[in-house]
Structure 1
Amino acid sequence: MTASCWDHAQPFVLDVQVEPAMIDHYQHVNNAEYLRWIEQVSWAHSESLGLSFADYQRLDRAMVVQRHEIDYLAAAFEDETLSLATWIVACDRRFSLTRHFQLRRAADDKTLLRAQTHFACVALSSGRPRRMPEEMAKIYGAAVISL
Structure 2
Amino acid sequence: MENVFILTITVSAEDIDNLQHVNNLVYLKWMDKIATTHWTHLTKNNPLPQYVWVVIRHEIDYLKQASLGDEIIVKTWVGETKGITSIRFMEFYKKNVLLVKAKTIWAMLDSKTLKPVRIRENVLKVLQAPK
Confirm or deny a common fold (TM above 0.5).
yes
More helix by share: 1
How much does 1:88 deviate? 0.4
Q: Tell me the distance in 2 between the aligned counterparts of 1:38 and 1:13.
A: 12
Question: For the Cα contact (< 8 Å) 1:103–1:114, is it kept in 2?
Answer: yes
How much does 1:23 deviate? 0.5
- Percent identity, aligned pairs only, is 29
Question: For the Cα contact (< 8 Å) 1:51–1:136, is it kept in 2?
Answer: no
Q: Tell me the distance in 1 between the aligned counterparts of 2:104 and 2:11.
A: 23
Structure 2 gaps of 5+ residues are none
**Alignment partner, residue 50 of structure 1:** 43
More strand by share: 2
TM-score (normalizing by structure 1): 0.79
Q: Does the alignment pair 1:104 with 2:96? A: no
Instruction: List per-residue Cα deviations over 1:93-145 (Å, max 9, x = no partner).
Output: x4111011110002xx11000000001111222222122354323212x249x
Q: Does the alignment pair 1:119 with 2:106? A: yes
Q: Tell me the distance in 1 between the aligned counterparts of 2:13 and 2:84.
A: 39
Question: For the Cα contact (< 8 Å) 1:86–1:101, is it kept in 2?
Answer: yes
Q: Tell me the distance in 2 between the aligned counterparts of 1:134 and 1:110.
A: 36
Question: For the Cα contact (< 8 Å) 2:3–2:129, is it kept in 1?
Answer: no
Instruction: List per-residue Cα deviations over 1:35-78 (Å, max 9, x = no partner).
Output: 111111111211221259x9343x2x212111010000011100
Q: Secondary structure at the match of 1:24?
A: coil
Q: Does the alignment pair 1:81 with 2:68? A: no
How much does 1:9 deviate? 4.3
Of 91, 108, 132, 2:81 maps to: 91
Q: Tell me the distance in 2 between the aligned counterparts of 1:120 and 1:51.
A: 20
Against the structure 1 CA distance between its residues 76 and 65, is the aligned structure 2 distance closer, same or farther, given a 3 Å change threshold? same
Q: Secondary structure at the match of 2:34?
A: helix
User: How many residue pairs were aligned?
Assistant: 130
TM-score (normalizing by structure 2): 0.88
